[in-house]
Chains A and B, each alone.
Chain A
């Protein structure tokens, strides 16, 4: 019986060692391990994993090919639905999607779908064709704003259909959140991100870096003067939030975005980097999402005694299970049901600590999670040198404010229908710019949907 085989453990860097370096935590499966794990899949008639994948990757089909040892075929099956398997295999919240609905998970452990996807994705980056795709241009130009997951997915699909696609990126490196947000130890930049983007380049997609649409050039310029017939906005949700508590402008308080950008995009952790980063002896990260886990584990790797402070309980942590598990292994201190009320500083204006209050869980709120309430009189202090605010991010208002007819919701998300069409004709949007901060896979799915809608829009024009 195939399902009697226990889930094949994945090899990882020793926690004590990896807490001092930025190399990838997880080594992934080798061929033998991948095939053994693939043999556990029951190949269900009505696969729940596919139903719970935001882009409906044909999971049992690709796993069957892994079992056969035909990685090229497995890669082709995944490619029908996903552009970035080496990325998604690493960063998707599998426990809430495919693996969370795997039948094997009812009594035992689900098939390690994420690790298998990663294996196939890595195999393809290593062994797949490096030839430039031979695609006949259809003569229509489309602009894509942002080179993150949604923009890449939209650009790739449109390029395959023959569109001449130019992706405009504000930063000096491509990949959006994959580049500036997710750390090297979770998503290697040269080995994975750059090579996934190279795949998109080989489809004929052009990239223009250092171009802030809304400032360097406007959407109107692109459509009226540069011949782009449609625009896809995948500008993400990059604006950091602060709590509005006293002391947030003290030296030593950073947004998680700043802290992570210094390290991921600017490589501040490398000895010869010109970009500085200060972490101090003790660092407190406020928040419980993936970004908070990334920030706290980065702080640890820079040498700090690192803390997570989160206002709900561990059960409510929005981060991926694997990240929480890895963080604990690495010696991160978790302070649950704790909410900051003030950041304390010295006369020079530097952080000396964070004043918190204990919380208890009350009734579930509209998100279904039990809402935290402060316990009166339970204030206490955690001495620290830096505080990193990881409270979520919101979309950048620049495009909405510089593009006539582009409307946003009250909280700043672009208004778009299910196909990605915004309130401005010819302009489509998807990913975090529409939904607010979500996942790579959802953004990728939205980019693909919008690509189909853009194709239809241009063909019917």
Chain B
């Protein structure tokens, strides 16, 4: 059992949980994820690590209540326990293995959408701790849905905000804001890391390809075990089958077949359209 030592509402239906998990906190690196079960009989839900404190032995996750299982997780209160909290899983972000000096010569831009701001945080923080100031774009539907902005502002080089309705920052999506930065505001980037909805990452990747900027995307695929056993998370990377859980979750965005990944991600959402009277899939979505 893993105790929730802190729980905060960040935006409507989006919660931050700080969870006591000393072994995970000890080993976690930017880019990795955990598998969480709320109640004893709950579904296994993969969530990217949002922060970790090795000394306190805690790991943060940010979770948006969208379906039955995520609602069950956010229903668990501060001081109570999650049944399971397994990780850290997947490969850490590639840059942590790179030579610091060469990293310092690179200009990073992180592009986060929605709850994607949460997993971007430990990456920007890691770079900040190594003397690298990365720029960050955070996009959301409107200003109420923006999360982790204050925390990111402290560690980012420049923090740019975009909202679909223009209620805060740039009026438009993150890709348009990135283009504006590069085309009109003289910004230049060597590396883009994008985390958010697949459709957003797809369009970020298409845009950065035009600029010739190497881009990494973090894939939030379906998973069960998260350790390479089930293959539910398989994606096509440069035409080769890869498992997001053990080969990823971060991949070279220019090689990702996003259309296939989106189709596979929605496998259980759209299933009710197909006639199958026994099928219970999608009832909670």
Q: Do residues A172 and B84 form an inter-chain contact, with CB atoms below 8 A?
A: yes
Give the distance in Å from the alpha carbon of A319 to the alpha carbon of B37 in the complex.
34
For window 53-87 of chain B, which residues contact chain A by CB distance below 8 Å? 68-69, 72, 83-87
Give the distance in Å from the alpha carbon of A398 to the alpha carbon of B271 in the complex.
34
Q: Do residues B263 and A349 form an inter-chain contact, with CB atoms below 8 A?
A: yes
B69 to chain A, nearest CB (A): 5
The 0/1 profile, CB within 8 Å of B marked 1, for residues 226-266 of chain A is 00000000000011101010001101101101100110011
Of B97-105, B141-149, B166-174, B274-282, the one contacting chain A is B274-282
Q: Do residues A215 and B89 form an inter-chain contact, with CB atoms below 8 A?
A: yes
Give the distance in Å from the alpha carbon of A211 to the alpha carbon of B89 in the complex.
10
For window 206-232 of chain A, which residues contact chain B by CB distance below 8 Å? 209-212, 215-218
Q: Do residues A248 and B241 form an inter-chain contact, with CB atoms below 8 A?
A: yes
A31 to chain B, nearest CB (A): 36
Give the distance in Å from the alpha carbon of A320 to the alpha carbon of B196 in the complex.
47
Q: Does A396 contact B (CB under 8 A)?
A: yes
With contacts A212-B89, A349-B263 taken as known, whether A262 is within 8 angstroms of B224 at the C-beta atoms is yes
With contacts A172-B44, A275-B43, A398-B228 taken as known, whether A216 is within 8 angstroms of B87 at the C-beta atoms is yes
Give the distance in Å from the alpha carbon of A211 to the alpha carbon of B88 in the complex.
9
Q: Do residues B224 and A258 form an inter-chain contact, with CB atoms below 8 A?
A: yes
Q: Does B150 contact A (CB under 8 A)?
A: no
Q: Does B284 contact A (CB under 8 A)?
A: yes
Q: Do residues B281 and A278 form an inter-chain contact, with CB atoms below 8 A?
A: yes
B229 to chain A, nearest CB (A): 4
Q: Does A274 contact B (CB under 8 A)?
A: yes
The 0/1 profile, CB within 8 Å of B marked 1, for residues 263-284 of chain A is 0011100011111111111000
Contact of B274 among A239, A276, A350, A396 (CB under 8 A): A350
Q: Does A302 contact B (CB under 8 A)?
A: yes
Chain B residues with CB under 8 Å of A37's CB are none
Chain B residues with CB under 8 Å of A209's CB are 84
Q: Do residues B267 and A278 form an inter-chain contact, with CB atoms below 8 A?
A: yes
Give the distance in Å from the alpha carbon of A238 to the alpha carbon of B226 in the complex.
12
B136 to chain A, nearest CB (A): 27
Size of interface on A: residues with Cβ below 8 Å to B: 49
Contact of A274 among B23, B84, B284 (CB under 8 A): B284
Look across to chain A and name the residue whose beta carbon is closest to the beta carbon of B262: A349
Q: Does A184 contact B (CB under 8 A)?
A: no
B211 to chain A, nearest CB (A): 29
Q: Do residues B229 and A172 form an inter-chain contact, with CB atoms below 8 A?
A: no
Q: Do residues B274 and A257 form an inter-chain contact, with CB atoms below 8 A?
A: no
Chain A residues with CB under 8 Å of B230's CB are 240, 255, 257-258, 261-262
Chain B residues with CB under 8 Å of A273's CB are 41
Chain B residues with CB under 8 Å of A255's CB are 230-231
Chain A residues with CB under 8 Å of B271's CB are 276, 278
B52 to chain A, nearest CB (A): 13
Look across to chain A and name the residue whose beta carbon is closest to the beta carbon of B269: A276
Look across to chain A and name the residue whose beta carbon is closest to the beta carbon of B273: A348
Q: Do residues B23 and A217 form an inter-chain contact, with CB atoms below 8 A?
A: yes
Q: Does B191 contact A (CB under 8 A)?
A: no
Look across to chain B and name the residue whose beta carbon is closest to the beta carbon of A258: B230
B39 to chain A, nearest CB (A): 9
A207 to chain B, nearest CB (A): 13
Q: Does B5 contact A (CB under 8 A)?
A: no
Q: Do residues A240 and B229 form an inter-chain contact, with CB atoms below 8 A?
A: yes
Give the distance in Å from the alpha carbon of A412 to the alpha carbon of B231 in the complex.
18
Q: Does A36 contact B (CB under 8 A)?
A: no
Give the distance in Å from the alpha carbon of A253 to the alpha carbon of B43 in the complex.
21
Q: Do residues A251 and B264 form an inter-chain contact, with CB atoms below 8 A?
A: yes
Chain A residues with CB under 8 Å of B241's CB are 242, 244, 248-249
A218 to chain B, nearest CB (A): 8
Contact of B232 among A215, A248, A258, A398 (CB under 8 A): A258
Chain A residues with CB under 8 Å of B282's CB are 276
Contact of A266 among B43, B231, B235 (CB under 8 A): B43
B89 to chain A, nearest CB (A): 6
Chain B residues with CB under 8 Å of A210's CB are 84-86
B263 to chain A, nearest CB (A): 4
Q: Do residues A172 and B268 form an inter-chain contact, with CB atoms below 8 A?
A: no
Give the distance in Å from the alpha carbon of A302 to the alpha carbon of B279 in the complex.
9
Q: Does B27 contact A (CB under 8 A)?
A: yes
Chain A residues with CB under 8 Å of B281's CB are 276-278
Q: Does B197 contact A (CB under 8 A)?
A: no
Q: Do residues A254 and B276 form an inter-chain contact, with CB atoms below 8 A?
A: no
**26 A-B contacts (beta carbon < 8 Å):** A171-B225, A172-B83, A215-B88, A216-B24, A217-B27, A238-B228, A239-B229, A248-B241, A249-B236, A249-B241, A251-B267, A257-B230, A258-B224, A258-B230, A258-B231, A266-B43, A274-B42, A274-B69, A275-B43, A276-B268, A278-B267, A278-B268, A278-B276, A278-B279, A385-B276, A396-B229
- Using a CB–CB distance below 8 Å, which chain A residues touch chain B? 170-172, 180, 209-212, 215-218, 238-240, 242, 244, 248-249, 251-252, 254-255, 257-258, 261-262, 265-267, 271-281, 302-303, 348-350, 385, 396, 398
Give 10 new A-B contacts, CB below 8 A, not counting A217-B26, A240-B229, A254-B232: A215-B87, A215-B88, A217-B23, A217-B27, A238-B228, A242-B231, A249-B264, A274-B68, A275-B43, A278-B268
Which are the 6 A-B pairs with shortest beta-carbon distances? A258-B230, A210-B86, A274-B43, A276-B281, A255-B231, A238-B229
- Using a CB–CB distance below 8 Å, which chain B residues touch chain A? 23-24, 26-27, 37, 41-44, 68-69, 72, 83-89, 224-225, 227-232, 234-236, 241, 246, 260, 263-264, 267-268, 270-271, 274, 276, 278-282, 284
